[in-house]
């Protein structure tokens, strides 16, 4: 049973790490999108609502980043507890 518990905890940890990595990449891409939208808005090529939507989306992604980090930490703690 212990081996199965460790294997499950490691799998959960890897999944959480993958989600964390993907979410970090998404935040970086959203940073770039926000920069582009700022420049377009400043040049009069885009309205401010597009920029505000992008910022709101990024805020949600950052909240998901915190959740993913917490899941990874919890899984790591579970592994440490089992070992």
Model pLDDT for residues 18-50, shown as the tens digit of each residue: 999 999 999 999 999 999 999 999 999 988 899
In the block, residue with structure tokens 């309205």: 47
Distance in angstroms (rounded) separating the CA atoms of residues 39 and 15: 36
Dmax (CA) for the chain in angstroms is 63
- The torsion of the CA quartet 44, 50, 56, 59, rounded to 10 degrees, works out to -70
How many Å is the Cα radius of gyration of the chain? 19
- The token pair that represents 66 in the structure block: 């915190």
The whole-model pTM stands at 0.82
Question: What percent of the chain is modeled with pLDDT above 70?
Answer: 100
Is pLDDT at 69 greater than 80 in this prediction? yes
Mean pLDDT across the chain: 94
Work out the percent of the chain whose per-residue pLDDT is above 90. 92
């Amino acid at each position: 049973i212990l081996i199965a518990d460790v294997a499950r905890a490691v799998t959960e940890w890897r999944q959480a790490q993958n989600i964390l990595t993907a979410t970090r990449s998404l935040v970086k891409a959203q940073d770039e999108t926000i920069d582009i939208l700022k420049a377009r808005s400043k040049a009069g090529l885009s309205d401010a609502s597009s920029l505000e939507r992008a910022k709101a989306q990024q805020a949600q992604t950052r909240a998901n980043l915190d959740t993913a980090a917490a899941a990874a930490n919890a899984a790591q703690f579970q592994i440490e507890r089992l070992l």
